[in-house]
Chains A and B, each alone.
Chain A
Amino acid sequence: MTTVPVVSSSITIPSIHYLAILPVIILLGASVVLVFATALVRTKVTQFVASSVTVAASVAVLVVTYFQWRCLDSSGPSTTIAHAIVLDGFSVVATGVVAVSLLMATLVAHDWALRERIVGAEYQILALAASAGAVLMTQANDLVVIFLGLEILSLGLYVLVAFDRHRHTSAEAALKYFLLGGFASAIFIYGAALVYGATGSTNLSTMSYFLASNVLTHPGLLYAGFALLIVGFSFKIAAVPFHLWSPDVYEGAPTPVTGFMASIVKVGAFAAFVRVLISALGTQIDTWRPILWVLVVLTTVVGASVALLQRNAKRMLAYSSINHAGFILLGIWAGTTRGVASTLFYIVTYAPTVVATFAVVTLVGGLGDENHSIGGYRGLARRQPWLGASMCVLLLSQLGAPLTSGFYAKYSVLASTIDVGGSPLALIALLSAAIAACFYLRWSSALYSDEPVEATRIVVPLSTGIVIGVGVAMTLVFGIWPGPLVTLCQHATLLFTP
């Protein structure tokens, strides 16, 4: 037996920059407040109260990101809490996108909950917690923190997917999502363990420093580690061949949840993916590039071609989002500052578009959330010109038509790919966009078909209407006048801590 020596009487804790973690605190705090309100208040917490708290929290996060941006401008990017959290331009912009997505998705879900007569604040609690996870992923500078963010995000979403108790498919989709999501998380953290073994740290900055200053004699462990990390991320962003869960989950989940999921998972997972590949493993770019090359080709082509065969709006949008994931990966493949900026621009413009698209799908789905065949959209724009035209603009933006934000997003990732000599890859991606154009155009022309269809008029509730309007406005404004947003994204990328 040895006696334990008393080393010191005080413990030094790492310094905390509270402004950096304020968004996570606000989101989790609002979630906890709602949990307590549900438990302590005698009457049921109404949808109105729960949604108001959520909206207030997301607005507060947007305000905080403004102050974070000002702080960045004056003192530059920094890390805090023992370098586990980073405050840089990239994380601030991505946090803002998460907040906007949460705000829009909450407004849509509010009307949906009223329509489906859902009582209680569970939806908002889980959505707030999941957003906190997504924000944590965008700020994480440590593989363990990324893992925690990923899990907070995913655990919230598993339950949200199972939220619709009236439909069998909802719980079924949740089980599939849970099993494959758990599998992906286990693969991710095993990859983190192997990378830790190879580099001696889970911290991204330390890792990058270690890899830049040492040559590994046996890089097998490192390669195995980051291959597993890439597989884990590919599951989360639904890159082919790890996409099989995505159409089922998109179809089975309640439609507002699908829109929410499609936007914030993409933001969180891609932000963390960029950080791991570019800032931690940037020195290994020649090794991970071929893997990403294959992923991009498969994801863009399979996503676009299989979407052609779909008859269900939600499944079609799932494959369309797989196709988009391929395009976003292009920016990471490029691996340059311009590539990262274009990835960020793509995420920023894609997230509101997809939430607004699913808002329309929610309305067309009708009571019970069942009516999702493409046939249901026939002549929608003739009956209800505003709703139909909005859907048309949103679809054209996802197609990448000029004058919509999707055009510049696609153009900038392709341009950054060609910059680093990826012309064949850019060509393949472009061809996939042409294939994808077929189904977007088929859907858009269905909106304007003049066959008489028996359909009831769709009531557009106020807050969903606002979300659709804002989504369309952002699509058009950033499409016609992308300059300021492009500058913001480039500026954000320059403030990217390696």
Chain B
Amino acid sequence: MNVPASWYLILAAVLFGIGAFGLLTRRSALIMFMCIELMLNAVNLTFVTFARTLSDIGGQATVFFVMVVAAAEVTVGLGIVVAVFRRRSSTSVDELSELKG
């Protein structure tokens, strides 16, 4: 079966959109965090698809960089979430209201 590359790109765009939408609407820091990961993985799918259509190895190599960055973000992000949780016993960003913004 021949799957056109555009399908993958559309899937990636949809995943990215879901991630962005979730990040803007959900109120739990952990879910927002997962949304960022979803967006990064949508980017990976885009890179791999383009790498295949362009027959260029560079795009596939980039995916590894993005994965490493995502992993590093997880460690730092969870650290910060834990630091906040210890003080407040909640990860909802609505309760973070000391800084008005």
Residues of A bordering B, CB below 8 Å: 144, 147-148, 151, 155, 158-159, 162, 165, 168-169, 171-176, 178-179, 182-183, 185-187, 189-190, 193-194, 196-197, 200-202, 244-245, 247-248, 251-252
Contact = CB atoms under 8 A, between A and B. Distances in A.
Nearest to B40: A186
A190 B43 contact: yes
Interface of B is mostly: helix
Interface in B57-85: 58-59, 62, 65-66, 69, 72-73, 76-77, 79-81, 83-84
B43 A196 contact: no
Contacts of B20: 183, 186-187
A369 to B, nearest CB: 14
A351 B100 CA distance: 27
Contact of B96 (A147, A172, A189, A190): A172
B74 to A, nearest CB: 10
Contacts of B76: 155, 158-159, 178
B69 A197 contact: no
Nearest to A252: B99
Contact of B50 (A189, A193, A252): A193
Contacts of B46: 190, 193-194, 197
Nearest to B50: A197
A175 B47 contact: no
A175 B98 CA distance: 13
A178 B101 contact: no
Nearest to A167: B98
A193 B9 CA distance: 11
B11 interface: no
Contact of A171 (B19, B36, B47, B87): B87
A175 B62 contact: no
Interface residues of B, number: 42
Given A172-B99, A175-B80, A247-B101, A144 B62 contact: yes
Given A147-B69, A162-B83, A245-B101, 19 more contacts: A148-B65, A151-B69, A155-B72, A158-B80, A162-B80, A168-B98, A169-B99, A171-B80, A175-B80, A175-B96, A176-B93, A176-B96, A176-B99, A182-B73, A182-B77, A196-B59, A201-B58, A248-B101, A251-B99
A24 to B, nearest CB: 16
A179 B65 CA distance: 20
Contacts of A248: 99-101
Contact of A172 (B19, B62, B98): B98
A200 B56 contact: yes
A139 to B, nearest CB: 17
B78 to A, nearest CB: 10
Given A155-B76, A171-B87, A197-B50, A202 B62 contact: yes
Contact of A202 (B40, B49, B58): B58
Nearest to A318: B101
B39 A186 contact: yes
A244 B62 contact: no
A165 B19 CA distance: 31
B65 to A, nearest CB: 6
B53 to A, nearest CB: 8
18 contacts: A144-B62, A147-B66, A159-B79, A169-B98, A172-B99, A175-B80, A179-B32, A186-B20, A186-B36, A186-B39, A193-B50, A193-B59, A196-B50, A197-B49, A197-B53, A245-B101, A248-B100, A252-B99
Given A151-B73, A186-B19, A179 B36 contact: yes
A247 B62 CA distance: 33
A175 B81 contact: yes
A144 B56 CA distance: 15
A109 B64 CA distance: 35
Of listed A168, A182, A187, A201, residue having the most chain B CB within 10 A? A182
B80 A244 contact: no
